[in-house]
Each structure stands twice: as structure tokens, then as C-alpha cells.
């Protein structure tokens, strides 16, 4: 079946511009996650959704970052007033649910964001 | 906070030369340990989940094992197509905490 999809695959933007990154999870997966992977660093957790709800936003690096999920499906991660340190690969993952045995997270291909 | 350390950072093997990758972790009650494979320019691909000490799982040339302090990913008779970065992660209630990975290169 179809996996997690993300768009765009690459995004180059000028410092100070806003960007929107999109994630389409596996059908039927209620949990959705955003991570960031910077060069030489591990995956850094940003935020998760259970359904349309994001109970904990403390992983977002700053108030320039926001995320939403609608219809229990597609999610968008928005970065306002981008900075060069925002350059990274943004990965989305989904899982059947949270906290139980069916917890494997399946990742999309990522969006490579470059801020010039 | 849970921590995950992977070693070595990079490993070069000749085709057919078996070896192991290490993942050590500190958690207050392991909920699950995950292994992923990541190819350049792609997202991580799920390999295994281990839940309790003594558990083992296998897939082709890969075998993952788990103790109370660490996990090993054993690669038997690797092939060049096994070249990738292997990531280890532990489960917190709502997130995975990842190590920085081991970059494996298998030369023909």
C-alpha cells in the first residue's frame, strides 16, 4: 500500500520567508509525528498528533514553528520568518496508534529545506 | 531524559565480513527499542522492534538482540547493498529518541 508522502521534496527559500511543509500519512494511522534531521545530528523530535490534537508542543524549536492536522489525515508544518539554522531535512512519520504494541513509526522521504 | 548512544560512528567492511553495531541506552523503563535503516536522501526504513531483554529478531542477514543496557545489530556476510546508516531509537510515550547512527559501508 501507499506509504507516507511528503511535499515538496526540496525547498529553497530566502531568509525571512515563510514555508509550509506537507505530510500525508498512511491511511488509517491515527498518530503522526514530525522530526528534523540536521547534518551530522540525530533525528530531533518536533511534535506529534493523535488524531487532530497536538497535546505537547514543547519540542518545537521556537514560536516561529507551528503545525496542524486536519481530518485526522494531512498535516502541515509551517515555519515563519525562516532562518539559516532552520536548514535541515524535515521528516514526517505515522503509526497506527500511540503507546501500544502497534507503535512502529513509518517515515516519509522527507523535505530538504535550504534557507539562503 | 532517555539517551541513546551508537557505536561505532562509521564502519567499513569487506563483503562477507560479519560484524556488529552497538546501541546503548539509558531509560527509566524500556517501552521498546527500534532499529531503522536510512539510505542517503531517504527517510528511515523500519527494521525491528525489541521489547524485552533476551529478545532476538532476524531479517535476512540482520539479527537484532537486546539486553537490559544495550542492543546489537549483527550483520552476517554483508553485501554492498547493506551499505546504509543504521539508526537505533528508544520509545518514550509519544516519541522516539534516536541515536546518531552508524554509517556502514560494505565494499565488494
Taken in order of first residue, the domains within chain B and their CATH numbers are 3-107 (2.60.40.10)
Classify residue A113: in a domain, yes or no.
no
Count of domains forming chain A: 1
Residues of chain A numbered 54-83 and touching chain B (CB < 8 Å) = 55-56, 59
Classify residue A114: in a domain, yes or no.
no
Q: How many CB atoms lie within 10 A of CB A63?
A: 8
Classify residue A81: in a domain, yes or no.
yes
Classify residue A96: in a domain, yes or no.
yes
10-residue mean pLDDT profile of chain B (108 residues): values are: 91 97 90 94 95 95 96 98 97 88 97
Which residue of B32, B42, B93 is in closest CB contact with A109? B42
Q: Which of A46, A89, A104, A112 best probes binding to B when mutated, by most B CB atoms within 10 angstroms?
A: A104
pLDDT tens digits along A36-83: 999 878 899 999 999 899 988 889 999 999 999 999 899 999 999 999
Cβ–Cβ under 8 Å, residues B45 and B38? yes
User: Vertex B42, ends B99 and A102: CA angle to 5°?
Assistant: 65
If DSSP codes are grouped into helix, strand and coil, which group holds residue A84? helix
Q: A79 lies in which domain range?
A: 5-106
pLDDT at A96: 87
Can you tell me the mean pLDDT for A11-30? 96
Classify residue A116: in a domain, yes or no.
no
Q: In terms of CA atoms, which chain B residue is nearest residue A33? A: B95
Cβ–Cβ under 8 Å, residues B94 and A56? yes
What sign does the dihedral A26-B57-B22-B10 (CA atoms) show?
A: negative
Burial A28-37 (b: 16+ CB within 10 A, else e): ebbbbbbbbb
Which residue of B87, B89, B94 is in closest CB contact with A98? B94
B7 Cβ under 8 Å from any chain A Cβ: no
Cβ–Cβ under 8 Å, residues A59 and A66? no
pLDDT at A72: 86
d(CA B91, CA B79): 30
A34 Cβ under 8 Å from any chain B Cβ: no
Can you tell me the mean pLDDT for A22-36? 94
> Residue A75 is part of a domain; what is its CATH number?
2.60.40.10
Classify residue A111: in a domain, yes or no.
no
pLDDT tens digits along A86-105: 999 999 999 987 665 547 89
d(CA A74, CA A89): 19
Amino acid at each position: 500500500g501507499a506509504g507516507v508522502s511528503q511535499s515538496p521534496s526540496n525547498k529553497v527559500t530566502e531568509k525571512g520567508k515563510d514555508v509550509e511543509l506537507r505530510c500525508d500519512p498512511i491511511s488509517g494511522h491515527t498518530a503522526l509525528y514530525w522530526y528534523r534531521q540536521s547534518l551530522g545530528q540525530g533525528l530531533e523530535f518536533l511534535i506529534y498528533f493523535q488524531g487532530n490534537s497536538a497535546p505537547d508542543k514543547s519540542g518545537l524549536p521556537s514560536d516561529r514553528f507551528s503545525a496542524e492536522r486536519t481530518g485526522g489525515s494531512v498535516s502541515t508544518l509551517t515555519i515563519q520568518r525562516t532562518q539559516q539554522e532552520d536548514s535541515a531535512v524535515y521528516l514526517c512519520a505515522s503509526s497506527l496508534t500511540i503507546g501500544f504494541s502497534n507503535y512502529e513509526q513509518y517515515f516519509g522521504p522527507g523535505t530538504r529545506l535550504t534557507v539562503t | 531524559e532517555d539517551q541513546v548512544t551508537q557505536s561505532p560512528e562509521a564502519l567499513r567492511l569487506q563483503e562477507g565480513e560479519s560484524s556488529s553495531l552497538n546501541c546503548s541506552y539509558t531509560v527509566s523503563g524500556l517501552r521498546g527499542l527500534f532499529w531503522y535503516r536510512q539510505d542517503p536522501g531517504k527517510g528511515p526504513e523500519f527494521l525491528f522492534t525489541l521489547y524485552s531483554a533476551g529478545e532476538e529478531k532476524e531479517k535476512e542477514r540482520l539479527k537484532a538482540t537486546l539486553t537490559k543496557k544495550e542492543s546489537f545489530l549483527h550483520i552476517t556476510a554483508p553485501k554492498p547493498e547493506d551499505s546504509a546508516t543504521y539508526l537505533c531509537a528508544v520509545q518514550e510515550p509519544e516519541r522516539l529518541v534516536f541515536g546518531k547512527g552508524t554509517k556502514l559501508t560494505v565494499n565488494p
